[in-house]
Chains A and B, each alone.
Chain A
C-alpha cells in the first residue's frame, strides 16, 4: 500500500489550511503532530475523500483516489476527531449499519461485528444504546467501526482526545495491535501518544510539513540543548522571559525548570536528554497545547 500526496493544497477563501504538501506513505504508523489550526484535520479529511483539494491530488498505489471513488474508500477506515453516531442505535446495530455502508455482506458483517466487539472490549455492551456509553467506550466503538472492513489505510484523528489515562493507554495499545500490516495515520496533539506508537512523525505547521522522520531523527534535528536546573521561585519569570521552558515543577525549595537553550542557562544547569515534547515546544512555541483543533 502506497499513498502519495502530490502538491496537496486546500484553501478556505484566503486562508490556506494545507499548503502544497508532497509526501509518500507506505505501511506503518505515521504520527501527525501539530498545534491546533496547523491543518491536520483538513489533510486527513482530504485523505478520506471528505474534502476536495484546491490543488494537487492524492494517489493510492499510483491511482488518483478521486477517480478510484468507492474502490479507494473500500480500503479506508476512519475515526474522525468528532465521532458522531446515532444515539438511539445499540452498539451492535450501529456497527451493522456502518458495515452495510462499507458494503460488507450481512453474513460477514455479523461475524466481523462480533469479533470486533470482543477485540475492543465492548462485547458485553453490544445491546447498549450508543448514547449510554462512556467516552472511552464510544471511542472504542469508533475504532471498531473504522476496522470493520479490515482497512489497509486507517486514519485516526485525535483518537485519544478526552480519554482518561487508563483508557488512553488501552487505546494506544489497541492501535499498535491494529497497526500491523496496514498504513495508519494518526493525528494528535498529545505528543507521548505519537512517541509510543508512530514509526514516522510528521510535524505540521501552518499547512506545511516542517519536519519528518523517526522520533529520534526529529529530536536530533533540534539545534538547541535541553537543560534542567533548580531556581528560586522568584526567578522563574526571569527565566521564562529569556528561555523556552518545556516543563516546570515547584516544591518548597524552589522550581525545577526544564529549559531549551543552546548555551547553559545558569551555573547549576545540567544537560538532560531531549524528548519529543521538548522538540514540539521548541518548534511550536506557545501555541502548543491549544484545545481548538478543527482546522
Chain B
C-alpha cells in the first residue's frame, strides 16, 4: 500500500516536471523568465537608489556606504521619542535653520544644511504630521512648533483624527461605532514610539508592490498556457484519452501551476529582500510603522517586520488567487489570451475606480489589495463582519485563502470534464 502511494506520488511529480518543462521550453516561457530577471534587477536598483544620504558637501549619494552613513546619523536619535527628544529635535532644527547654509539662496548650500538635519528627519516628519491637519502635510510646520506645545505630540495625533472624523468631509463616511473604533485604535497604540533607522523596511514597503504586481502580470502569461495550450496544440485528444488524463494529469497541471507561482514568487521576493536588506540594512524591524511617513496614520498596530511579513505573505496569497483564477479561465474557456487578461483586469480596474468614494469599501476588499499590503494598511476601510468593526486586512487575509481553496476543486472538475469535439 505504502509502496503504491509512493509510486503514485512519484508519477504525479514526474508529470508536474513535464508540465513545467512544457511551459518553459517555449519561447514565451523563456521570455517571461528573462523579463522577471530584468524586472528584479530594475526594482532592486530603484529601491536602493531611493535611500539617499546627503554628505557634508550637500552631495546626494546612494548605495551601501551611503546607507551605512545614513544609518549612523539616524541611529544617533535611536530610542523612545519622549518630550525631551522632541524638544531636542526642535532646538537642533532651529539651530540649523539659523545657519548661513540654510539661509542661503543657493540650493547647494541648503543641501549642506539638510545634511545636518537628515539624522532626525524622520522625527521631524512625525512632528509635521502631528501638528498639521489630518489630511494635510506641511513640511515646514516643525519650524513653528514651540517647545511647550511639542509635548502634546501624541495627543495631537489622536486629536487630528478626531477633528477629521467629525469634519464636514468625513462625518457621514463613518458611523459612530466606526469613529469610536478608529479613535480607540489610535489611543491604544503604545507610546512613546521607539525609533531607530528603518529605511531598509520603508524602501522595501514602498517598492515591493511594484515587484509583486509585475511578477503577477508576467507570470500570467506562462501560467495561462498550462491548461489552454493542450487544446491549442491539439494535444488534448491524446492527453484526455490516457489513463491518468482525466484525474492525476489534471491534478499535475494544477500542481505545476501552483509550483510555478510559488517558486517564482518566492525566488523574486526573497532575492529582492536579500538585496535590499543587504544594502540598506535590517535595523528598525521592531519599530511601529507609525514612525514612518507612510504608516503614521495607520490604525494597525504593527512593526516594520510584521508589515514586511504581511506584504510578502499577502502578495503570495494574492498571486495564488489571481493566477489560479487565470488558470481557471484558461481551463474553462480554452483560451490563454482571455486568461492572461485576468491579472491585468484585477490590478488595473480598481485603480480606475479609486476616485469613486462610494466604491471604496468594495475596492478595499479586492484582491489587488493583497499585492500592496503596505498601502492597504494605511487605508481607513472598515467592515462589520459578525457585527464587529474591523479593517480590511483581516478580512482579505481570511477571504482569499478560502476562495483560492474553493477554486481548486472547481478547476479540477471543469478541466477533467472537457469534451473534445
**What residues of chain A have their CB less than 8 Å away from a CB belonging to chain B?**
12, 45, 48-52, 69-70, 73-74, 76, 78, 80, 82-89, 93, 96-98, 100-103, 105-106, 145, 149
**In the complex, are the beta carbons of A101 and B249 less than 8 A apart?**
yes
In the complex the two chains form, what is the Cα distance from A96 to B421 in whole Å?
27
**In the complex, are the beta carbons of A78 and B235 less than 8 A apart?**
no
**In the complex, are the beta carbons of B236 and A84 less than 8 A apart?**
yes
Identity of the chain A residue whose Cβ is nearest the Cβ of B14 in the assembled complex: A100
A-B contact pairs, 11 of them (CB 8 A): A45-B420, A49-B240, A76-B243, A84-B235, A85-B233, A97-B18, A102-B242, A102-B244, A103-B244, A105-B7, A106-B10
Shortest beta-carbon distance, A13 to chain B, in Å?
A: 11
**In the complex, are the beta carbons of B238 and A70 less than 8 A apart?**
no
Q: Which residues does chain A contribute within 8 Å of B14, judged by CB atoms? A: 100, 106
**In the complex, are the beta carbons of B421 and A12 less than 8 A apart?**
yes
**In the complex, are the beta carbons of A50 and B21 less than 8 A apart?**
no
**B237 interface residue per 8 A CB criterion:** yes
In the complex the two chains form, what is the Cα distance from A84 to B15 in whole Å?
18
In the complex the two chains form, what is the Cα distance from A85 to B233 in whole Å?
6
Given contacts A100-B11, A106-B14, contact A149 B233 (CB under 8 A): no
How many chain B residues sit at the interface, stated as a range, is 20 to 34
Which 9 A-B residue pairs are closest in the complex by CB-CB distance? A84-B234, A88-B25, A84-B235, A101-B242, A80-B237, A48-B241, A74-B243, A50-B420, A97-B18
Identity of the chain B residue whose Cβ is nearest the Cβ of A10 in the assembled complex: B421
**In the complex, are the beta carbons of B239 and A101 less than 8 A apart?**
yes
Shortest beta-carbon distance, A138 to chain B, in Å?
A: 12
In the complex the two chains form, what is the Cα distance from A69 to B7 in whole Å?
20
User: Which one of A82, A98, A149 has the highest number of Cβ atoms from chain B below 10 Å of its Cβ?
Assistant: A98
In the complex the two chains form, what is the Cα distance from A44 to B216 in whole Å?
41
Identity of the chain B residue whose Cβ is nearest the Cβ of A142 in the assembled complex: B238
Shortest beta-carbon distance, B264 to chain A, in Å?
A: 19
In the complex the two chains form, what is the Cα distance from A96 to B248 in whole Å?
16
**B301 interface residue per 8 A CB criterion:** no
**In the complex, are the beta carbons of B419 and A69 less than 8 A apart?**
no
Q: Which residues does chain A contribute within 8 Å of B246, judged by CB atoms? A: 49, 69-70, 73
Given contacts A88-B26, A103-B11, contact A73 B236 (CB under 8 A): no
Q: Which residues does chain B contribute within 8 Å of A12, judged by CB atoms? A: 421
**In the complex, are the beta carbons of A50 and B233 less than 8 A apart?**
no
